[in-house]
Amino acid sequence: MLRLASVLVWAMTLPMSWSHPGSTESAPRAVAPASEVHGDPQDVDDERLRKIWTALPIEEREEISAWYRAECDRRRTLARQLERHVFHSLREARGNWGQLQQASVYDGAKHAPAQPILRKMLPPENPKVVAERKRMGLTQVEPAPAWVYDWATGMVLQRDKPFAPDHLFELALAGRAPEQDLAIALIEQALDLGTLRPIHKAFGHTYASRTGTAYSGISLYDAWGSGVKIEMPDIECLGILHDVENDWRSFTAPVPGGQQASLYKRIGKMFHSIRRERGLAQALAASYFDADPELDPTYSSATDRLQLFWTKHDSALDESRAALPVSSEWDDWWESLALLQTDADLAELAAQRRMSLRAEGGRLRGIMVWVLREWGALKNR
């Protein structure tokens, strides 16, 4: 197992020609070592940087992206070293990915033949979908991750052109490392205990209303976890019951009002079992690179515990996975994590990790500003 101290030493010995899996980029042009910043990188706003970037030919964007990636390596940024640890630790998983596809909807003819209301899928940009996301409090990391972990299949999925220069540029502006999307998805995959896959798959279907409107990009998992009042059509409820428990006899559509509470209770129990597992893994994965990520309310008020967890296990993925609780033991485990704060030495190390991660975002953005200046695209004021 690689301890964090070993990881940092190991990362410093890697050749600077290392590149991400699937990379076809050209090598960056050679430059003499220079100071990290000419001028204050925070003195240039994102809007100006985007205008400069979009005006560049695609060939130059590709070269600048390659140079930026090499600079992150040369300067041995913390985020880059953590990325490399993830890729090194999960060599076998790195090839286990597929293409991100639109989630399916439950088939009314199959699960509610007496009430087969057709689903009409609205695209993500539809105002109704945007409004529903806002109502549910669903946030989206910007830029949208080029890689995501699919809890339904256990695979890491990629969007079109995940290594595109434009995406890397937006990652840099957001203070994120070049392959951070992929690393986070792989961490989620590593932390998934894999015991509740059928339930994850069932709740991965697209959320729909009783009238058949399906909201692309909003899953049943998202809807159930939102904490707001949601539609609970028979098709989706029975679909979950059929897929997870293969129970086709207890309820049939249309479900009588007197039976709905019992049906919803069974489904709710399934949801809570996966929410604990998925929510914890997602919170830990997001906290691996970010001291203050946007998280589920359960974890957003206790980010110090997440940093204590990574510090205690030296950011080592194999040891971390072994320390995770099964869903039924989550409450006790979560409380025990809070007790780590009583260890003064561990708390100090966790605070150092947190401060280093907070500084990292500005440093990564600053490297992109420096590269643009050295290239000649951004003139000093």
d(CA 142, CA 174): 8
Q: Which residues contact 246 (CB under 8 A, 6 or more apart)?
A: none
- Separation of CA 318 from chain center: 19
Lowest mean pLDDT among 93-97, 157-161, 346-350: 93-97
Stronger pLDDT, 179 or 23, i.e. the higher one: 179
Other C-beta atoms closer than 10 Å to the C-beta of 249 total 5
Contact yes or no for 205/103 (Cβ under 8 A): yes
Q: Which residues contact 119 (CB under 8 A, 6 or more apart)?
A: 105, 106, 108, 206, 208, 212, 213, 214
Condensed to tens digits (0 to 9), the pLDDT of residues 221-273 reads 999 999 999 999 999 999 999 999 999 999 999 999 999 999 999 999 999 99
pLDDT band at residue 107, thresholds of 50, 70 and 90?
very high
DSSP 134-185: HHHT----SSPPSEEEETTTTEEEE-SSTT-HHHHHHHHHTT--TTHHHHHH
Q: Which residues contact 195 (CB under 8 A, 6 or more apart)?
A: 277, 326
Mean pLDDT within 93-105: 73
pLDDT band at residue 380, thresholds of 50, 70 and 90?
low
Length of the chain: 381
Q: Which amino acid is at 330?
A: W
pLDDT of amino acid 68:
95
d(CA 72, CA 68): 6
